[in-house]
Structure 1
Amino acid sequence: MNENNSNGLQTIITQVIEEMKSEQGDKFDINRINLAEMERRTGMTRAQLRRLKKNDFQITPHALTGRKADTTIISGYTGVIDDLLKKGVSNSEVILERIQEQGFQGSLTTVKRYIQSHKYLIPPKRQTVAPQGNRGRRYSSDAGESYQMDWGFVNVDTGDGTSYKVACFAMICHHCGERYIEFFPNAKQENLFIGMIHAFKRMGVPGHVLTDNMKSVVLHRDSEGHPVWNHDYEAFMNTIGFETKLCRPRHPFTKGSVERLVRFVKENFLAGRVFGTITDLNYEAWKWCDNQNNRYHKAVDCIPHERHSVSCIKNASILMDTFDVRKYLCPIRCISFDGFVTYEGRRFGIPYSYVQHTCRVQREDFTLYIYDLELRKVLITHDVTWSRKDSFCKGQFTDDQPEENPSVPVKISITQKKEDPPKSAFAKFAFGGDRNE
C-alpha cells in the first residue's frame, strides 16, 4: 500500500470514528466500537478493521515497504530493452514484441514501468521546428476509389561496419486504411511496378492512385500544368486499368495517410529489427501488415480488413493474371558476353543453348526464375543466397574453348629446317654397316 492510499484511508477511518463519536456522545468507547457499522461506512472488511483496532485504528506502513526483489520477471531482458532505448526506441508495444520473441511472459505495464524508470537511456530528440500556422481540410474518398502510395528508405548496418539503403514500397487505401508494404534493394521503376501489382492483387485495383511527382511516374508538367507521364508508367496504367493523380509539389499533406504509414513502419515495424535477407524481411512485413489490418484503428474508426473486404473490394476491380501483367513482374535483362544476367545487384548464369541476347527474370521468395522473352519456358532456376559471388549454372559454357582467328592478313613468313631422324640405340654395334639402321 503506497503512501497516498494510506493517507486517504486514514482520513476516511478518522472521519467515520468522529461521526460515530458525535452520534453516541458519552457512551462512545473506541474499544467497544461497532465493527459492523464501520464496515458499512468505510467499505473495509471485518478482518481489516480487527487488525486496525489492535493499533487504535492507526495505519502504519508495511514492514517490507520500499524493498524490491533482487530478480523480477523482466530481469533477464533488461539488456535487450536498454539496447533498444539507447537506439531511441521508446515505444512500449514495440519493445514488448521484441522481448516476447525471446520468451518474455510479462505484461505491457511491466515494460512501461521499466521504460519510465530508465528514460535517461533515450537519446535526446532533435529540436522541432515551430509550427507554421497553416490549416488544411481533410478530404475523404468513397470505398475503393483512391489508394495512396510512396517510397520510404532505411539504412541497413552490416556486421563489417558498412551500410546500404533499402527501399520500402507502401500503399494504403484512403477509405479504410488497409495497408501493404514491401521491401526492395532499390526504388527503380521496375520495382515500383512489382510492388503495385502485388498490392493490387491483395487489395484490388482502385479508381485512381495518389502519389507525389517521382521521376518514374511523371517527367514534367506542360505549360498548362498538366502532367507529362513517363511513357513506361503510362503504358502500365493503361494495362492495369487505373488513373493517377499527383500531389502538389512540396506538399506532402495531400497524401498524409501513406506519409503517416511510412513513419509508422519506421517507428514500429523497423525499430530495432534484425533480419537476414530482404525475403525474410518481407515475410515479417506481410505478417505485420496482416496484424495491423485486423486491429482497430482510431483514425479510420474501424478494423481496416473488415471494412475493406465488405465495401472497398466490391468497388475495386480484380487484377487478372494476363501476359501483359506478368511481363511487369518479369523485367527484361540483357545477357552478358560470359552468359550472366544481373538482377538486384547479383549475377546469375544462363545456359549456352539459349541463343537470344535478352531474357526475363523474376524472383519469388528464395528462387530466381529466368524465362525466355515470351514467358513460355523456364530456362533455369537459381537459389537466391544473397551472396555477392556469381551463380553459375549447368551448361553455361561449351566444352570446346573458343578459337581466335587472325583479324588481318598474315604477311610474315619464317623457315623451319628439316629435323634429323633419331639414332637407334644399337647403331654403335653395327660394324661396317650403316650405323643409322
Structure 2
Amino acid sequence: MLKKEDLFLIRDLSSQNLSISEIARQTGFDRKTVRKYLQLKTLPEPQKRPGRKSKLDPYKPYMLKKLEEGSYTTARLYREIKEMGFDGGMTIVKDFVREVRPQQGVPAVFRYETKPGVQAQVDWAEMGTVEVDGKIKKLFCFNMILGYSRMKYVEFTLGIDTSTLIQCHLNAFEYFGGFTQEILYDNMKQVVIKRALKSSDSEWNSQFEDFFKCFGFIPRLCRPYRPQTKGKIENTVGYVKRDFFLGRRFTSLEDLNAQVHRWLERVNSTVHGTTYQIPLERFKEEKLIPLDQVPPYKVVHKETRKVSRDCYISFLGNKYSVPYRFAGRTAELQIFEGIFEVYVDYEKVCEHEILSGNCRVSRKKEHFQGLLSEILKENSKCKKELQIPLKFSGPEVEKRSLDIYETFSDGDFE
C-alpha cells in the first residue's frame, strides 16, 4: 500500500495533465499502480497485518484453563506444556501469564535476612481432606525452610498434634543433616501454651519443651498479626500449594510424600527468585549443628483402634493382625520409628512394621493358633446345650370324685 504523501503526489501530477507513463517515470511506481490509485475515489484504509503465529498458541487454551482452576505458578505451567511438546523458552510463558493473570498490589515490606546456620522457619498448612480407612480425614502439610540458603523440607500428615510436629522436625533434621540455632514459629498450641511479651518467658507445651531442650535449639515466636516476620515460610506454604499440590493425584499418604520428595529435589536445585542462587549451592555455606551431637530422641505417637471380629486392626489403609482373644476390644497403638506396638488394657499384645502403600495385610500365624480348636469346642458345647430329652406320655385319664360312683350304685339317676 502506498503512503498518503505518495498518493497525493500522483494526483497532483495527474492534475497537471501528465500521462500515466510520465507519472510512473517521475515517481518510480509501476503504471498499473498509478492507474489503480488514480481510479480510487476515496483514500484506502490501512490494513492491519495478521499477527505472527507463536509457538505458545496451541498451549494457550490449556494454560488459561489451568489458571481458571487455581493460581498455578508460571514454572509449573512451563513444565507441564514442555511435557506436552512445547519447545519454546520460559520468557514467552512468563509474558503470557503476566498478561492474562489479574495484577494485585502488594504492600512494601522490609526483608530480613539471616546468616548461615542461624534460623529456620516452620509452619503448618491445611490441604483439604482425604479418605483413610473409610473415614474422611484432614490433610496437613508441614513446611520448614532454612533462612539463609532457602533449602526447603515438606511433609504431609494426617494430624497436627505435638508428637507429629516433633517427628516432622526429626525428619527435616535428617533431610538437612543438622539443624539451626533457632527456629521461628507461629503461636501454635503444639509449641506454646501461653505467650509472654518476652518469648523466653512463655509457657511452652511440655512435650515440645522437652524436645527443644534436648536438641538445644531456641524456639522463637513471631509477633502477632505480623505475617511478614516469617515471610519466607509463608511464601513457601503458598508455593507448595500452587507449584506442587494443586491438581495433584496420589494413592496414599506414602505416595504423596514420595512425590513431594522428588519435587523437593528439583526446587532445591533451581535458582531461587529472591537470592538468585541455587539453594543447594548456597546450602554449602550453612553451618548447621550436626545430629551426632544429640542423643537419639524417640517420639511415640498414640492412636486408638477397635479390633475387628476377624482379629485385625486398620492403620493408614492397611490391616494388621492381633491375637484372636482380643477381638472386639479397643486397642492403643504406640507408633514410632516405622513400627507400632499394640496395647490392650496397658498390656503389650503385639507389634508390627508399618507397611507402605495401602490395601495390604500383615498377618502373623501365631495370632490365630488355637482359634479353630476353640471354635470347634464352642460349637460342640452349643450342640449339647441344644439337646432336649424326649418324653413319652400315655393317654390322659379323667379324674372324678367317688360320690359319682355312689350315685350310680344307689340308683339316683333318671
Corresponding residue for 2:180? 206
Aligned residues: percent identity? 24
Closer, same or farther: CA 416–175 of 1 in aligned 2, 3 Å: closer
Corresponding residue for 2:190? 216
| Count of matched residue pairs | 333
- Separation in structure 2 between the aligned mates of residue 354 and residue 333 of structure 1, nearest angstrom: 21
How far the C-alpha of 1:258 sits from its partner, in A, is: 0.7
Corresponding residue for 1:265? 240
1:166 matched to 2:139? The reply is yes
Corresponding residue for 1:306? 281
How far the C-alpha of 1:186 sits from its partner, in A, is: 2.9
SS at match of 1:216: coil
How far the C-alpha of 1:142 sits from its partner, in A, is: 2.7
Closer, same or farther: CA 200–251 of 1 in aligned 2, 3 Å: same
Closer, same or farther: CA 403–145 of 1 in aligned 2, 3 Å: farther
How far the C-alpha of 1:262 sits from its partner, in A, is: 1.0
How far the C-alpha of 1:113 sits from its partner, in A, is: 6.4
Cα pair 2:121 2:147 within 8 Å, conserved: yes
What do residues 186-237 of structure 1 show as CA deviations (whole Å, max 9, x unaligned)? 3232221221111111221211111011111111146987211111111221
SS at match of 1:196: helix
1:244 matched to 2:216? The reply is no
Closer, same or farther: CA 87–137 of 1 in aligned 2, 3 Å: closer
Cα pair 1:156 1:165 within 8 Å, conserved: yes
For normalisation by structure 1, the TM-score amounts to 0.60
SS at match of 1:274: coil
List aligned pairs for 1:279-298, cutoff 5 A: 279-298=254-273
- Separation in structure 2 between the aligned mates of residue 95 and residue 284 of structure 1, nearest angstrom: 18
Instruction: Give 1 or 2 for the bigger CA radius of gyration.
Output: 2
1:319 matched to 2:286? The reply is no
Write the letter of the residue equivalent to 1:88.
G
Cα pair 2:142 2:154 within 8 Å, conserved: yes
For normalisation by structure 2, the TM-score amounts to 0.63
Which stretches in structure 1 are left out of the alignment for 5+ residues? 8-30, 32-54, 56-62, 405-414, 421-437
Write the letter of the residue equivalent to 1:233.
F
Write the letter of the residue equivalent to 1:318.
P
Closer, same or farther: CA 334–185 of 1 in aligned 2, 3 Å: closer
1:191 matched to 2:164? The reply is yes
1:348 matched to 2:310? The reply is no
List aligned pairs for 1:28-427, cutoff 5 A: 66=50, 77=59, 80-89=62-71, 91-112=73-94, 115=97, 119=100, 138-155=111-128, 165-203=138-176, 204-221=178-195, 226-309=201-284, 311-312=285-286, 315-320=287-292, 324-325=296-297, 327-328=298-299, 331-334=301-304, 336-338=306-308, 340=312, 343-344=315-316, 346=317, 348-352=319-323, 360-361=334-335, 369-370=339-340, 379-381=351-353, 383-386=355-358, 391=361, 393-395=363-365, 396-397=367-368, 398-399=371-372, 400-401=374-375
How far the C-alpha of 1:363 sits from its partner, in A, is: 7.9
How far the C-alpha of 1:137 sits from its partner, in A, is: 5.0
What do residues 39-85 of structure 1 show as CA deviations (whole Å, max 9, x unaligned)? xxxxxxxxxxxxxxxx9xxxxxxx9952777xx85566555324302
Cα pair 2:130 2:139 within 8 Å, conserved: no
SS at match of 1:279: helix
How far the C-alpha of 1:335 sits from its partner, in A, is: 6.1
SS at match of 1:264: helix
Q: Give the alignment's Cα RMSD to 1 decimal.
A: 4.9
Write the letter of the residue equivalent to 1:94.
R
- Separation in structure 1 between the aligned mates of residue 129 and residue 213 of structure 2, nearest angstrom: 36
Corresponding residue for 2:412? none
Cα pair 2:173 2:179 within 8 Å, conserved: yes
Which stretches in structure 2 are left out of the alignment for 5+ residues? 4-24, 26-32, 34-46, 344-349, 379-386, 393-414
